[in-house]
Structures are given as structure tokens and as C-alpha cells.
Amino acid sequence: MIWPVVPLGVIASAGMDHWRRVSEVLEGIVAADSELLAELGSSLEAMARRWEFYLTRMVVLSQRAGDYDADDCELVEACDRLLLSIMARFEPGYKLLPATTMRLL
């Protein structure tokens, strides 16, 4: 069993920073050449899927360790909402993992 070294809130905050930057890059790509975005679709999907698996794993590990509090929950939910908004805008066919969907509900 591997225990999280970095607190979940820090992971979620870093994830939000990452996804904000991804969104800015994607907006620049759309402004320059909207057809280029179609070529990036599979890469964007792969990156989002890896992030979802990682964040879900960290949530589960934090819950098992008893380190999952209301502040962490809010940060994780904010990160999930940001990911959802980005994927809905730039890759509308993307399906979130069930764990992510559950956290959003």
C-alpha cells in the first residue's frame, strides 16, 4: 500500500492550476487554427483520463488514511468542475469516469 506523501488539497490545487493553463493553451489554439484542435483531441482525452484516474486514486488513499476533510472535498470538486468545463468545451464527446461523475453529483 502506498500512502499519499502530498496532501490531497495540494494535489487538487495543482491540478486546477494545470487545467487552467491547459484551457488557456487550448483557447489560443482555437483562436489561431480551430482545425488544429481536432488533431489534439486524442491527446487531450488521454491526459484527462490519466488525471481522473490519478485524482480518484489519491482521493481513495486519502479517505483510507483518514485525511479527507471538507476542505479537500471542496478542492477536489472544484478541480472536477474545471475539468468538466474544459472537456465539455474542447472535447464534447468525452465521458468522465464514474468516480468523477459521482463526486460532481
Q: Please write the tens of the pLDDT for every residue from 3-54.
A: 557 889 999 999 999 999 999 999 999 998 878 888 877 899 999 999 999 9
Instruction: Tell me the per-residue pLDDT of 59-98, one tens digit each, with 9 for 90 and over.
Output: 999 998 888 899 999 999 999 999 999 999 999 999 999 9
Report yes or no: 9 and 72 within 8 Å, Cβ to Cβ: yes
Domain that holds residue 64: 8-104
Give domain status of residue 2, yes or no.
Answer: no
Buried-state track 77-89, b at ≥16 Cβ within 10 A, e below 16: eebbebbbebbee
Give domain status of residue 19, yes or no.
Answer: yes
Give domain status of residue 3, yes or no.
Answer: no
Give domain status of residue 93, yes or no.
Answer: yes
Give domain status of residue 97, yes or no.
Answer: yes
- Work out the angle at residue 79's Cα, subtended by the Cα atoms of residues 16 and 31, and round it to the nearest 5 degrees: 60
| Total structural domains within the chain | 1
